[in-house]
Amino acid sequence: MDVTQAVRERFDGRAPEYDDSTMHRELAAAVAGFVSLDGVGSVLDAGTGTGLVLRALATRPEAEGVRLAGIDLSPGMLTVARAALPGAELVEGDATVLPFADRSFDVVTCTTALHLFPDADAALAEWVRVLRPGGRVVTATFVGFEPGKHHRHHGGGDGAQPAPVAPYPMHHDRFDSVARMAAFGAAAALRVLRHTTWTDGNDTVLLAELGR
């Protein structure tokens, strides 16, 4: 089975319970709050899952009239997203090969999904293609990720059981510090413009805004 198929199956399986994760809901709210909507008319959420970040963005008064779009490999996750946010444009597909025109978005967000992409550099280049001049990429990536620790907060285990081993690679260490995010962005001629750290006391996540 290839990585794409394995990721799709894993998240199709997690879709019905995914929104039970307090961690993912609270992180999505933090990411949505971190995104600057000043002058922004459109946002694309890459690896949108159940659309938690788009849903949190939609609650901000400044998001009124903003085009909200998301793309994900998992039809199961998208079914939840579509039910929760019927007004959004939610597309099944690979965030590395976007079915969107050049210069069609002001912001691309990606929350706890970059580590799953087989070719994150190609994904970032693709996001730059669809961004308008002055557009920004906002990422949220785990710092010091430990699968067992994370698993407890998914409603998927009580900590007594070992975490399941994902049937695909996870490239957390490429994105787990500001310096590493800066190196990642530099390959697409982007800089880290702002960053902050979010934690719920268990998981720690780096939020970064990249732009020219």
Ligand X SMILES: C[S@@+](CC[C@H](N)C(=O)[O-])C[C@H]1O[C@@H](n2cnc3c(N)ncnc32)[C@H](O)[C@@H]1O
Per CB under 6 A, residues contacting ligand X are 7, 11, 24, 28, 47-49, 52-53, 71-74, 77, 94-96, 111-113, 116-117
Per-residue CA distances from 193 to 12, 63, 166, 186 (Å): 34, 22, 33, 12
Q: What is the nearest approach in angstroms of ligand X to the Cβ of residue 24?
A: 4
For ligand X, the closer CB: 85 or 95? 95
- Identify which of residues 27 and 192 has a Cβ nearer to ligand X in the complex: 27
Compute the least distance from the CB of residue 206 to ligand X, in Å: 14
| Geometric angle at alpha carbon 195, from 190 and 198, rounded to 5° | 140
- State the residue number with the nearest CB to ligand X: 49
Nearer to ligand X, 44 or 131 (CB): 44
Tell the smallest beta-carbon distance from residue 162 to ligand X (Å): 19
Half-sphere exposure of 44 (CA within 13 A, CB side): 31
Nearer to ligand X, 1 or 191 (CB): 1
Min dist. Cβ of residue 72 to ligand X (A):
4
CB of 103 to ligand X, least distance (A): 21
Least separation in angstroms between CB 189 and ligand X = 22
Residues 6+ apart with CB under 8 A from 18: 11, 24, 49, 50, 77, 80
Sheet containing 204-211: give its strands across. 89-92, 67-72, 42-46, 105-111, 131-143, 204-211, 191-199
* Choice between 164 and 191, CB closer to ligand X: 164
**Nearer Cβ to ligand X (42/96):** 96
